């Protein structure tokens, strides 16, 4: 399978260049875990691997993620990933958007 990532705990097939329409300006990092897996580092481990893949292999300029403004764990994860947090666009009322820019492509 192309673009497959493996870590000690996870096997990921996040997306491929064909999955991203050329005109779409943002790629979202999305994660969802069952409650039994919260607080064990799985989301962070997966997100770090996906961030590396997005920036190094796909050479994306930036990635974003959206979380409920009341979801402290997701907001903390976004900060740990080096994301800048800001209120999401009005169509996502009550949500926060985290953005991280590829350090090799900063303006």
Instruction: Look up the domain containing 10 and give its range.
Output: 5-105
pLDDT for position 83: 95
CATH number of the structural domain spanning residue 11: 3.40.630.30
CA-based nearest residue to 54, from 84, 25, 27, 79: 27
The answer to whether residue 23 scores a pLDDT higher than 50 is no
Distance (Å, rounded) from C-alpha 30 to C-alpha 94?
Answer: 17
Based on the structure, what is the number of domains in the chain? 1
pLDDT for position 6: 63
Distance (Å, rounded) from C-alpha 62 to C-alpha 21?
Answer: 15
pLDDT for position 34: 82
Going by their DSSP bridges, the two strands 5-6 and 11-12 should be labelled as antiparallel
Q: Above pLDDT 70, what percent of the chain?
A: 74
pLDDT for position 9: 57
Whether the Cβ atoms of residue 46 and residue 5 lie closer than 8 Å to each other: no
Q: How confident is the model at residue 92 (pLDDT cuts 50, 70, 90)?
A: confident
Whether the Cβ atoms of residue 25 and residue 31 lie closer than 8 Å to each other: no
């Amino acid at each position: 399978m192309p673009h497959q990532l493996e870590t000690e705990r996870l096997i990921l097939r996040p997306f491929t260049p064909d999955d991203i329409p050329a005109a779409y300006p943002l790629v979202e990092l999305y994660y969802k875990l069952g409650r039994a897996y919260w607080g064990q580092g799985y989301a962070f481990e997966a997100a770090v691997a996906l961030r590396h893949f997005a920036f190094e292999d796909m050479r994306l300029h930036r990635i974003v993620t959206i979380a409920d403004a009341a979801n402290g764990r997701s907001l903390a994860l976004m900060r740990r990933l080096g994301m800048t947090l800001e209120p999401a666009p009005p169509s996502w009322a009550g949500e926060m958007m985290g953005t991280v820019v590829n350090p090799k492509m900063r303006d």
